[in-house]
Structure 1
Amino acid sequence: MSPYDPRMTLLSRAATKMPTEHPVLAAAHRLAPRVASLSAEVESARRLPAALAHELAGAGLFHLVVPERFGGFELHPALVIETLETLSRADGSVGWCVMIGSLTAMCAAWLPEPVARAIYGVPDVITGGVAAPLGRAELVEGGYRVTGRWAWASGAQNCRWLTGGVVITQDGTPQGTRVLYFPIEDVTLHDTWQASGLRGTGSVDMEVRDVFVPTERSLSLVTERPRVDRPLYRYPAYGLLAVGIPAVALGIARRAIDELTALGPAMATRPAVREAVAEAEATLRAARALLLETVHATFESTTHQEATLRQRAELRLAYVHATRDAARVVDRMYELAGDSAVYNASPMQRCLRDIHAVTQHAMVGQPLRELIGAVLLGVDANTATL
């Protein structure tokens, strides 16, 4: 095994199930070494191998937030974070794809029950897509005629259904936005994914042309309440949709610390390394603590009442903070690793590329940070997707 084998820090770690551990989290721990062993294949293929996706789906990892009544786990958001963090520590691209698939599935709680059961009642189904309203859907009898193209359709190659955000029009006049479901047969995937980081996510463009979608396969996370009245779905909708992004970031950062530690005793003799690792540990754990504290407080509060605007802003602030601090940790670990980190054989360079792909996502980007600041300062702003 080479000094930079991506399996080094994971294959030696027994994946044991603690008495209080949720079965799906135990499955993530159990699968993590296998995920790590496939890192090179995932990266080279620029997508998740179908066999691995099927294995992850079979373990229930794409049903984390599907309502229990449809066969899902309906996990507390904190458990979602821990599960995705575990997989992302093994491989950032795999964690990202599970994040996209599992959190897209929250839409099951907004769909009419027969449609939700038809889609998510299949135990190993994988769904994905893009919520941004980049498509156009003209109102017609019984539904919509849809044309559109969306970038960043992560993991789409293994999906049975894909979602796309659209602007609804009637006689060419905009009527608002919705999210629509397309069977994979109606979608064309364009292999556009030549990226610096998260290379293994297969985040291609998806396109539909003049496709009919019945009304019952549409929903709005902004203007409609969930049809499943359970505590998880009272949590802010966009807060639930975005909860996996800091989880992936934290997992990648933890892996970077692992990899620096694995470089050997000689590295640990350097005072600068000792100091930096101590600071990185504190930074990562503090960011994680704020994230989990805010998630727990929001979940507890929204069990009884709607989240206030301030709560939604503070929740998303915790997501942004965790993601950005995770990136700072990875940057420091990469710097300390020296010239060994530049080689493709080093997982450290992949941690660097992957974390900076995560930070580019709109859910943690600069416009969102500006919006959060506006709320905290009491300035009027469009907060519909907060």
Structure 2
Amino acid sequence: MTTASPPAVKTSSEHPLLAEARRLAPELSARSEEIEAARRLPAALARELADAGFFRMVLPEAYGGLELHPARIIEIVEELSRADGSVGWNVMIGACTAMVAAWVPESAARTIFSSPDVIIGGVAAPTGRAELVEGGYRLTGRWSWASGSQNCRWLTGGAVVTKDGAPRMVREGMPEIRTFCFPASDATLHDTWNAMGLSGTGSGDISVQDIFVPAERAFSLITERPRLDRPLYAFPALGLLGVGLPAVGLGIARRALDELAALAQTKKLMPTGRLLATRGVVQHSFAEAEATLRAARALLMETVNATFEAGARRELTVRHRAELRLSYAHAMRSAARVVDAMYEAGGGVSVHHSSPLQRCMRDIHVATQHAMVSSVVLESIGGVLLGVDPLAPLL
């Protein structure tokens, strides 16, 4: 297995955590098979990443976090994902879930993030039920795709709020939905993650049965504003929650380009003995893939920066939100096209377990299945851009 190509020269604006990601990259790449076989991040590696600060990228400074600009978060997750997709995915989940600290009361945030090495994860999808009771809620539910939960101290789960067993309605046809934070010790972890790609993310199910969650540990990213008045949390809430998703895709795609470039300098074609790099169709495919990836990344960064600035000015519009989510979906879908092209260009070598190209292919096609970047979201985005869906609350 080859490792990722050497990174670009460090610039004066490079964040120290990006430099740390690049330093760790060779070790992470070398451990890819171990991580995949374990179907989760080894606990010691998760602790190392936590100690370095990767899970504090989105956490408010007030609670010991780094509160990074979204563009810096993308760069760091992209670099980790270039080294190993599962590592990048788990860091993305843990780091972005920590945004809950900006939505819950200070007392709850300080309880959850009482230590700098805390990792939080979970699932926002409202597949649970939360009965409203005095002082809080009784929560029951089971959630799939709880990535990295084995290494988490706290977990989250989305749920429909009920009263006397019936859903509480915020308006006709719309029940109240909230996200709940609870200690990982209150949950049961189910070993259900046997996926074709991102195999090392430990994205199994979690469940709780009739646990009490205080009201201060329940919140809504859809209907409530953050409690901290900081530029990062003026960024669209769902956009901040998902900001690492396109970064994972871009990193996996960059790795595929790295691997094909290395293979093209060593693989000889039969019967001529010429290098793969001399084949015209491979040259064309590689050039097109490079342009596709860089264009998608440029659109992503441009849109993220514009959205962040609009949020800081308190001038966010629904169109900003739609264009942001479009840049996420476009980056992930473009990354998948790049990986597919490099896998095909590699020929028969690509199919072997020893080839990182097959892992890139498997990983990217699991990443594309995330609801936040799936083709379904393009309908809502298109509705906003065409002026026929002026609200689109889920953007």
Q: TM-score, length-normalised on structure 2?
A: 0.94
| Counterpart Cα distance in 1 of 2:257 and 2:105 | 45
Whether the 8 Å CA contact 2:249–2:364 is kept in 1: the answer is yes
Residue in structure 2 matching 1:93, options 73, 86, 108: 86
SS at match of 1:107: helix
How far did 1:35 drift? 1.0
Whether the 8 Å CA contact 1:137–1:147 is kept in 2: the answer is yes
Q: Partner residue of 1:71?
A: 64
1:124-135 pair list within 5 angstroms: 124-135=117-128
1:251-262 pair list within 5 angstroms: 251-262=251-262
How far did 1:28 drift? 1.2
Whether the 8 Å CA contact 2:159–2:180 is kept in 1: the answer is yes
SS at match of 2:339: helix
| Counterpart Cα distance in 1 of 2:391 and 2:209 | 31
Structure 1 residues 285-321: Cα deviation after superposition (integer angstroms, max 9, x where no partner): 0000000000000111110114101110011001111
How far did 1:16 drift? 7.1
| Counterpart Cα distance in 2 of 1:74 and 1:273 | 42
Letter in 1 for 2:3: T
How far did 1:115 drift? 1.4
The question of 1:317 aligning with 2:363 is answered no
Whether the 8 Å CA contact 1:15–1:29 is kept in 2: the answer is no
1:1-386 pair list within 5 angstroms: 5=1, 8-10=2-4, 13=6, 18-175=11-168, 176-265=176-265, 266-380=275-389, 383-386=392-395
| Counterpart Cα distance in 2 of 1:264 and 1:376 | 42
Gaps of 5+ in 1: none
| Counterpart Cα distance in 2 of 1:310 and 1:323 | 20
Gaps of 5+ in 2: 169-175, 266-274
SS at match of 2:263: coil
Whether the 8 Å CA contact 2:25–2:80 is kept in 1: the answer is yes
| Counterpart Cα distance in 2 of 1:121 and 1:16 | 37
| Counterpart Cα distance in 1 of 2:30 and 2:188 | 31
How far did 1:382 drift? 6.1
Does the C-alpha gap of structure 1 residues 16 and 34 become closer, same or farther in structure 2, counting only changes over 3 Å?
farther
Whether the 8 Å CA contact 2:285–2:341 is kept in 1: the answer is yes
| Counterpart Cα distance in 1 of 2:190 and 2:39 | 13
| Counterpart Cα distance in 2 of 1:121 and 1:78 | 27
Structure 1 residues 89-114: Cα deviation after superposition (integer angstroms, max 9, x where no partner): 00001100000000000111111112
Letter in 2 for 1:100: I
Q: Partner residue of 2:173?
A: none
| Counterpart Cα distance in 1 of 2:310 and 2:390 | 24
Q: Percent identity?
A: 65
How far did 1:34 drift? 1.3
| Counterpart Cα distance in 2 of 1:123 and 1:31 | 20
| Counterpart Cα distance in 2 of 1:258 and 1:335 | 14
| Counterpart Cα distance in 2 of 1:45 and 1:193 | 11
Whether the 8 Å CA contact 1:234–1:306 is kept in 2: the answer is no
SS at match of 1:179: strand
Structure 1 residues 54-110: Cα deviation after superposition (integer angstroms, max 9, x where no partner): 110010000001011111110000000000000000000110000000000011111
| Counterpart Cα distance in 2 of 1:264 and 1:298 | 39
How far did 1:353 drift? 0.5
Does the C-alpha gap of structure 1 residues 328 and 15 become closer, same or farther in structure 2, counting only changes over 3 Å?
closer
| Counterpart Cα distance in 2 of 1:20 and 1:332 | 33
| Counterpart Cα distance in 1 of 2:103 and 2:7 | 39
Structure 1 residues 312-360: Cα deviation after superposition (integer angstroms, max 9, x where no partner): 0011001111100000000000001001111111110000000000111
How far did 1:27 drift? 1.5
| Counterpart Cα distance in 2 of 1:256 and 1:333 | 6
Q: Partner residue of 2:268?
A: none
SS at match of 1:131: strand
Q: TM-score, length-normalised on structure 1?
A: 0.96
| Counterpart Cα distance in 2 of 1:305 and 1:228 | 14
Aligned length: 379
Whether the 8 Å CA contact 1:145–1:211 is kept in 2: the answer is yes
